[in-house]
Structure 1
Amino acid sequence: MSVSQDSFITDSTTIDCAPLVPEIRLQLATEVTPLWQATADSLEDANIEPPFWAFAWPGGQAPA
């Protein structure tokens, strides 16, 4: 991962508890819309997927 990708992730996320599994701490998006828009605007040309990694999806929390 490049420095700019590292910066993008750390600037767009914070370490927080997963809503359904509070004992698990994850690097999560602080605000959904700005992160999604930044990804669409900045990373679309690089063919990078939307930032699904930045959210604790309920389906992933259930098995945790």
Structure 2
Amino acid sequence: MTMGDTIKHAGEEAVGKAKEAAGRATDDPELQAEGRGDQASADVKQTGDKLKDAAHDITGR
């Protein structure tokens, strides 16, 4: 995994948080849900990144 992926996935999570907050502020449940979905997607990607890093640490490849 590259540092670029880490930054990209963290950025996706931040965008999701912003969308969720904007949805709350404007009383837009669809935007809130989209933001939560973006955050969940970013969390899955970040978990995958962590697993790849752990596997690399164990195998050295």
- TM-score surpassing 0.5? no
Please say which structure displays the higher CA radius of gyration.
Answer: 2
| Greater helix fraction, Structure 1 or Structure 2 | 2
Q: Which has the higher contact order (CA 8 A, sep 6+)?
A: 2
Bigger strand share = 1
Return the TM-score normalized by structure 2: 0.32
